[in-house]
Amino acid sequence: MIWMDILLFILLITCGYTDLRYQRVPNIVLLPAALLSLILHLWQGGIEGFFSWSKGLGVGVALFLLPFLWGGIGAGDVKLLGVIGALKGTTFVFYSFLATAFIGGLISVGILLYQGKLTQTFKQIGMSLKIFFYSRLSVWNMPGLDEESKSSVVFPYGIAIVLGTIMTYWVM
């Protein structure tokens, strides 16, 4: 199990650096980590290790699939969470996902506060929710908000994934 932890921290450090520096989580890092974790799982658990690896990978990818399809995160972030799941399993990746969402929210609020857009953003969210609920949940496309969202706050979400995973590791 120590090899999984070592591989996890090498992955987190490398992906955190590349996401900060280049705004990318590269496949050249993710693919070898996924394959090495598969080998370690097979070595430690045989066929059960393979199923553990594949379930962790699948859950990790599935957790970020909707945010990716909605354009909120990049494919590298999805694959990174998948590899974290492949390394540490379904329970760990689920808690990592929750911690990542929390940390990502804090980072977003901090950026909005720094840019002076926090109040405006909360007003837009409130207006959206008001329209959505007054329309009895039938309005899905709100035309006036699309133009304003083009100036949305963007940051390398891999950093939130790295910090959320480290937080999960310490707690578990």
Residue by residue, pLDDT tens for the chain (172 residues) are: 799 999 999 999 999 999 999 999 999 999 999 999 999 999 999 999 999 999 999 999 999 999 999 888 999 999 999 999 999 999 999 999 999 999 999 999 999 999 999 999 889 888 878 887 777 666 555 555 555 555 566 789 999 999 999 999 999 8
φ/ψ of residue 168, rounded to 5: -65, -40
Looking at this protein, which amino acid is placed at residue 137? L
How confident is the model at residue 46, as a pLDDT?
95
Domain boundaries, the chain: 2-117+153-171
Q: Which residues of 77-103 are buried (b: 16+ CB within 10 A; e: fewer)?
A: bbbbbbbbbbbbbbebbbbbbebbeeb
How confident is the model at residue 138, as a pLDDT?
64
Give the whole-angstrom CA distance, residue 50 versus residue 44.
Answer: 10
How confident is the model at residue 137, as a pLDDT?
63
